[in-house]
Structure 1
């Protein structure tokens, strides 16, 4: 039994956000991903199920936007699209509101058995909104 593991990169017609060369659909050891055609000069890559973003700006670098990604264990998280320049990430869905207590530029939507509430993304703040 022979399995063909060769996969030719497919052009996507979308420019790379870092170097403006074309992005390609490629196959790696963990499955399909989107990578820059300018590799190894540009090492930009993202998941194949790329979500253009959440329209929530990164509160740390303020240049990038938070995009949903999937870890190698299958868990969703939200990270700055300027990685590796900015390594900000959170495990809960972001909301573009500032914290009323500390002023941090990002709140997170947390679901509990009692309902849904907003919590501050800053580790030093303990703000929690009332259950909605």
Structure 2
């Protein structure tokens, strides 16, 4: 490993808070992604972070669902307007409308028989055919 690897490397992705570039940095506990505007903007996340999905939040209608990791290491998807909107789901979201109840979000569920889409609305029992 060379010494220039320790220098922050620009990722060409804007920071979700301040729109400056995000950088890949090396810290005491390994690699992480942080804003180039530090200390004015203290945004940071894990190096293997998925910046988000194309699925809008069905509750607040203004946020997007982004992948997060719980304190136990499990992945989930939550609205990026978190303290205002607390919507979250455990399965990967797909930006499609449910044909049964018209809910604006479906979830991708993997089963032993194959992969199918299910409705994110708890009161709807829609399941697509196996793929």
Alignment TM-score, normalising by the size of structure 2: 0.68
Partner of 2:70: 71
**Offset from partner CA, 1:16-70 (integer Å, 9 cap, x none):** 2222233333456765332334456544333211323322222222233223333
Q: Which runs of 5+ in 2 are unaligned?
A: 1-5
**Offset from partner CA, 1:48-95 (integer Å, 9 cap, x none):** 113233222222222332233333433222223333443322111111
1:1-132 aligned within 5 A: 10-12=8-10, 13-26=12-25, 31-39=30-38, 41-123=40-122, 125-132=123-130
What is the rounded CA distance, in whole Å, between the counterparts of 1:72 and 1:9 in structure 2? 29
What is the rounded CA distance, in whole Å, between the counterparts of 2:7 and 2:85 in structure 1? 28
Q: CA deviation at 1:107?
A: 0.8
User: How many residues end up aligned between the 2 structures?
Assistant: 125
Q: CA deviation at 1:106?
A: 0.3
CA 1:20/1:131 → structure 2, altered by over 3 Å: closer, same or farther?
closer
Q: Say if 1:47 and 1:69, in contact at 8 Å, map to a contact too.
A: no
